[in-house]
């Protein structure tokens, strides 16, 4: 399934191009000046770039599928063990695959959302399992998974509270072995900050606090603001949000276009009902702590961008906890999982026009049919045409997809690539255009004024 043509919009806007830049040039200074989305460069894309093998085949794109297989094996293993242990946290992690009909949409693109959805469930499972009793090795495992999630998607940074809570609770046991985790954590933080500086010129991009560096490739504030406003507006279907009260914003959010609005309503319902159901069905302290962290995460997401992708993993956690509270038999969970697996086949056996169900109204993206030859030969990893046009802006030569493409999309156009519509818009409204820092592309990009 992961070998069919991806249908995720972000695959065309920056996933493919991010991986192409990593494969062909590595980390490029000021890449965010060329396309602000390229500044994100998730660690999951770095990992996918390492396993793309472009010298063998240009369409390898199976990291998400490979990871889902491994995770599924673990889930069924825990379900099998539940038969003898009867520990509810094993039933919970085994039930996660009930979410397959939604998760499956992220399998055929190198989307960092899928590992966030699944690794977070593993992290929650380990937190519940070892909340009352933990040893050093399991604490390190939880810490490593948390760090990995944070560098995959910085919006998960609230989860750093999990190892901190465990450390405080089990301080006497863990205090004698702190040097290695502290050194490793600082090392990863250093790499993360270095990545941000190389791509954008800021230490904590997209935040502009600690703006202490003066480099010529620093992304202009105007572009960062464009990114922030666009990301926030996306959660509300790009509705006009000016002068709306918090209540009006909330109504606009839960009445978003079709699928998005449904997800938002379900999440809100779970968020409100969960503590009451927990009180009557569980009263497990570790589960309620995870609920509180979930509420905190949603508050932060609301401030920056309440897109469902940023909190769906909590929605999955709430739903599966409630599921196992009411259905405490592994046979029931296996039945639900089997039904979910069958439903997840639908997008691959029939074409679904995603613009009918999501906010992606600007494209005609469809799911791709699964064909027998995909087992041996993957489809192209872009739903866009490979045709492109060449443009020159202030001496900078770049490639752009054809005029039919949407504003942010680039697809698999050869480097350096950026959409002509995007260049024209930013030039007109912000008087900024990208430019090479030197004659060599690998030396990176900077933004120059064109007034």
pLDDT by residue for the chain (451 residues), tens only, comes to 888 888 888 888 899 999 999 999 999 999 999 999 999 999 999 999 988 877 776 677 788 999 999 999 999 999 899 988 889 999 999 999 999 988 988 888 899 999 999 999 999 999 999 999 999 999 999 999 999 999 999 989 999 999 999 999 999 999 888 899 999 999 999 999 999 999 999 998 888 887 888 899 999 999 999 888 888 887 777 777 777 888 888 888 888 777 778 888 999 999 999 999 999 998 899 999 999 999 999 999 888 888 888 889 999 999 999 999 998 888 888 899 999 999 988 878 877 666 655 555 454 466 777 788 877 888 888 888 888 999 998 888 999 998 878 888 898 899 999 999 999 999 999 999 999 999 899 999 999 987 7
Q: What residue segments make up the domains of the chain, in order of their start?
A: 130-200
Q: Residue 310 and residue 153: Cα distance in Å, rounded?
A: 9
Residue in 118, 72, 102, 129 with CA at minimum distance from that of residue 334 = 72
Q: How far apart (Å, rounded) are the C-alpha atoms in residues 99 and 91?
A: 14
For residue 381, list its beta bridge partners. none
């Amino acid at each position: 399934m992961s070998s069919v043509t991806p249908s995720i919009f972000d695959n065309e806007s920056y996933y493919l191009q991010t991986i192409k830049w990593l494969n062909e040039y590595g980390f490029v200074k000021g890449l965010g000046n060329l396309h602000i989305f390229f500044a994100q460069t998730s660690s999951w894309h770095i990992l996918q770039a390492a396993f793309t093998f472009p010298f063998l085949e240009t369409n390898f794109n199976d990291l998400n599928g490979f990871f889902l297989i491994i995770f599924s094996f673990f889930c069924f293993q825990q379900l099998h063990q539940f038969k003898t242990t009867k520990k509810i946290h094993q039933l919970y992690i085994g039930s996660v695959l009930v979410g397959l009909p939604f998760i499956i949409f992220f399998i055929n693109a190198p989307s960092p959302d899928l590992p966030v959805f699944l690794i977070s469930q593993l992290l929650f499972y380990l937190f519940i399992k070892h909340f009352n009793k933990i040893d050093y090795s399991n604490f390190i495992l939880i810490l490593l998974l948390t760090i990995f999630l944070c560098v995959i998607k910085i919006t998960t940074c609230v989860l750093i509270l999990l190892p901190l809570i465990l450390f405080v609770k089990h301080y006497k046991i863990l205090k004698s072995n702190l040097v290695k985790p502290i050194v490793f954590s600082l090392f990863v933080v250093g790499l993360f900050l270095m990545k941000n500086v190389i791509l954008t010129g800021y230490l904590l991009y997209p935040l502009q606090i600690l703006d202490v560096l003066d480099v010529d490739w620093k992304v202009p504030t105007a572009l960062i603001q464009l990114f922030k406003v666009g990301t926030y507006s996306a959660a509300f279907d790009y509705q006009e949000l000016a002068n709306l009260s918090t209540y009006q914003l909330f109504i606009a959010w839960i009445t978003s276009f079709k699928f998005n609005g449904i997800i938002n309503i379900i999440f809100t319902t779970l968020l409100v009902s969960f503590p009451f159901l927990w009180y009557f069905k569980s009263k497990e302290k570790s589960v309620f702590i995870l609920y509180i962290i979930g509420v905190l995460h949603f508050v932060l997401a609301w401030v920056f961008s309440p897109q469902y992708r940023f909190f769906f993993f909590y929605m999955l956690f709430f739903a599966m906890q409630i599921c196992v509270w009411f259905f405490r038999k592994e046979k029931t969970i296996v039945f639900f999982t089997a039904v979910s697996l069958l439903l997840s086949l639908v997008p691959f056996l029939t074409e679904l026009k995603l613009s009918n169900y999501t906010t992606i109204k600007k494209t005609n993206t469809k799911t791709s049919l699964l064909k027998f030859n995909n087992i041996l030969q993957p489809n192209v990893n872009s739903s866009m045409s490979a045709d492109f046009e060449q443009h020159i802006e202030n001496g900078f030569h770049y490639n752009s997809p054809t005029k039919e493409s949407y504003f942010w999309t680039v697809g698999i156009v050869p480097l350096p690539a950026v959409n002509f519509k995007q260049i024209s818009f930013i030039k007109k409204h912000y008087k900024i255009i990208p430019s090479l820092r030197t004659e060599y592309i690998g030396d990176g990009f900077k933004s120059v004024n064109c007034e």
